[in-house]
Amino acid sequence: MKLLIFALCVVFAFSVLSAQTPAWQPSPGHTQVPLWPGAVPNARPAKGPEKTGTDTSLVAGRPWVYVSNVSRPMMTVYSPTGKNTGAAVVVFPGGGYEILAIDLEGTKVCDWLTSKGITCVLLKYRVPAPRLTPSHGAYPESPMALEDAQRTMGLVRFHAAEWHIDPHKIGVLGFSAGGHLVAAISTHFKKRLYTSVDAADKESCRPDFAVALYPGHLWIDDQKFELNPNVPVTRQTPPTFFAAGGRRPRGQHQPLAGLLHCAEKRRGSCGDAFVRARRACVRTAPHEVSRHGMASVSGDLAGDDRNDSGMIRF
């Protein structure tokens, strides 16, 4: 009997181990590079070891891979597969500052960018624990992700010649929480949040352009349609492209889309600082999915009032 119990315990232990997934690794031929030469600034304990998982709730008909408990930030450089344009984009996956949607909003984006001759730098920024944990989440509640973004921009400019990048054509692109990180680094680039560690931190961390796709954390609440005051937009904020779904089910408006659409119609009277400062190209459109994001877009994108669509070009 004791032998049977022991055998069952061994089987159970191995089944638990087999259910655990290792830390995320890029595809063959690509290497993750640590951002920090020593200890990371403002380190927070992780909920557990870094893990990779698969969410079976389908997006565009496919499951997606995520990374959690990230406490050691890394970047992965993807070189262009065709003619090199000299441009580079640092990609911030979304995940609510709790996980990183590393393939859907990361590697797949890099595959597309590199096919267009653009160097892609995928940032695995810190998300060590749920955002409701004290000192975690979006800036300024936590400086970790923004510190990692600032550090990455400096490293990319520092290595621009080595990586065949034009240092004046380095932008950022992010989804959801990563879209907020785009806005954060686009408005907090004059001073590092951390003490300089090497020559890379002497480089500017201001993006030359920015792309924020269905970003979160940018409005005060769903009714006021006012920009988060922790995103202080000025004329120095890089030119920015926004894209967000125009409607949710039952006629509800996605808050950011409502803010940007209202600002477009009234030319800035709704409190949208990006538009008032003439730093934004804005696109809002109705979408057919009830989940987060824009898996399917329909309607007239040229400015059909019935569909709450609109576009601004500066």
Identify the pLDDT of residue 278: 52
Identify the pLDDT of residue 283: 53
Report the distance separating Cα 278 and Cα 182, nearest Å.
17
Identify the pLDDT of residue 273: 53
Identify the pLDDT of residue 308: 32
Identify the pLDDT of residue 257: 54
Region 180-197: what's the mean pLDDT? 96
Confidence band, pLDDT 50/70/90 cuts, at residue 52: very high
Region 226-244: what's the mean pLDDT? 84
Region 200-221: what's the mean pLDDT? 90
- Judge contact between 175 and 293, C-beta under 8 A: yes
Statement: residue 309 has pLDDT above 90: no
Q: What percent of the chain has pLDDT over 70?
A: 70
Identify the pLDDT of residue 134: 78
- Judge contact between 192 and 150, C-beta under 8 A: yes
Region 176-182: what's the mean pLDDT? 95
Statement: residue 22 has pLDDT above 60: yes
More reliable by pLDDT, 277 or 229: 229
Confidence band, pLDDT 50/70/90 cuts, at residue 279: low
The predicted-structure confidence for 130-161, as pLDDT tens digits, reads as follows 877 777 889 998 999 999 999 999 999 999 99
Tokens of 128: 């060590």
Dihedrals phi, psi of 55, to nearest 5 degrees: -95, 120
Identify the pLDDT of residue 57: 87
More reliable by pLDDT, 134 or 44: 44
- Number of C-beta neighbours around residue 267 at 10 A: 11
Region 197-221: what's the mean pLDDT? 91
The residues with which 88 forms a beta bridge, in sequence order, are 119, 170
Tokens of 66: 């995520």
The predicted-structure confidence for 281-302, as pLDDT tens digits, reads as follows 555 444 333 345 543 333 332 2
Identify the pLDDT of residue 234: 85
- Number of C-beta neighbours around residue 71 at 10 A: 18
- Number of C-beta neighbours around residue 251 at 10 A: 7
- Number of C-beta neighbours around residue 36 at 10 A: 17
Burial code of 76-96, b = ≥16 C-beta within 10 A, e = fewer? bbbebeeebebbbbbbbbbbb
Long-range Cβ contact pairs of 80-86 (< 8 A, separation 24 or more): 80/114, 80/116, 80/117, 80/118, 80/119, 81/114, 81/115, 82/115, 82/116, 82/117, 83/117, 84/117, 84/119, 84/164, 85/116, 85/117, 85/118, 85/169, 86/164, 86/165, 86/166, 86/169
Report the distance separating Cα 207 and Cα 126, nearest Å.
20
- Coil vs helix vs strand at 12: helix
Delineate the domains of the chain, giving CATH numbers in brackets: 27-312 (3.40.50.1820)
Length of the chain equals 314
CA dihedral 235, 204, 129, 121 (to 10 degrees): 100
Alpha helices in 43-115 (DSSP H): 108-115
Alpha helices in the chain (DSSP H): 2-19, 108-115, 144-158, 177-187, 255-266, 273-276
Distances from the Cα of 256 to the Cαs of 23, 97, 212, 228, 246, in angstroms?
A: 33, 18, 11, 11, 9
| Angle formed by the axes of helices 144-158 and 177-187, nearest 10° | 70
Region 102-115: what's the mean pLDDT? 95
Identify the pLDDT of residue 10: 40
Identify the CA nearest to 186 among candidates 170, 197, 166, 167: 170
